[in-house]
Amino acid sequence: MTDDERRAIEADCGRLIALYANLNDEARWDEAAALYAPDGLMTRPTAPDAPIVGREAILAAFKARPPRTTRHVCSNVVIEVESAREARGTSAMLLFTGAPAPLVGSFHDRFVRTEEGWRFAERRGTLLFQT
């Protein structure tokens, strides 16, 4: 793998993290769920021990949420390329919901290249503390 190929994978996976945050904040659930591989796994930072498996189940979980206004701020994104088809990543997350204090946590991701492009194979959220 060339340096340019590695950087392209890092950029594609980093973009996936940012796109996910934006789609989530805009309640564009179908598009957010489509960022997962068909057999992808998601755990919310508020429920790290309750995995949701499969794109359809993830979509149903998104749609079951009560309406709310949010803003996810993701930073400190680091992508580790494992191969031309797999990568891992971590990112810090700050979630504003209109509550008195934001939620502070992180995501630990596994990415896989599919026919649709790079997708989340696994997205595990953890909550570190509330400020």
Task: Give residue-wise pLDDT tens across range 70-107.
Answer: 999 999 999 999 999 999 999 999 999 988 888 999 99
pLDDT for 129 beyond 90: no
Whose tokens are 């793998």? That residue is: 1
CB atoms within 10 A of CB 14: 18
pTM of this prediction? Answer: 0.92
Summary mean pLDDT of the chain: 95
Q: CB-based contacts of 113: which residues, under 8 Å, 6+ apart?
A: 84, 85, 86, 119
CATH class of 3-130: alpha beta
Task: Give residue-wise pLDDT tens across range 103-127.
Answer: 999 999 999 999 999 999 999 999 9
Nearest in space to 73 (alpha carbons), one of 24, 12, 131: 24
Instruction: Give the per-residue pLDDT at 130.
Output: 55
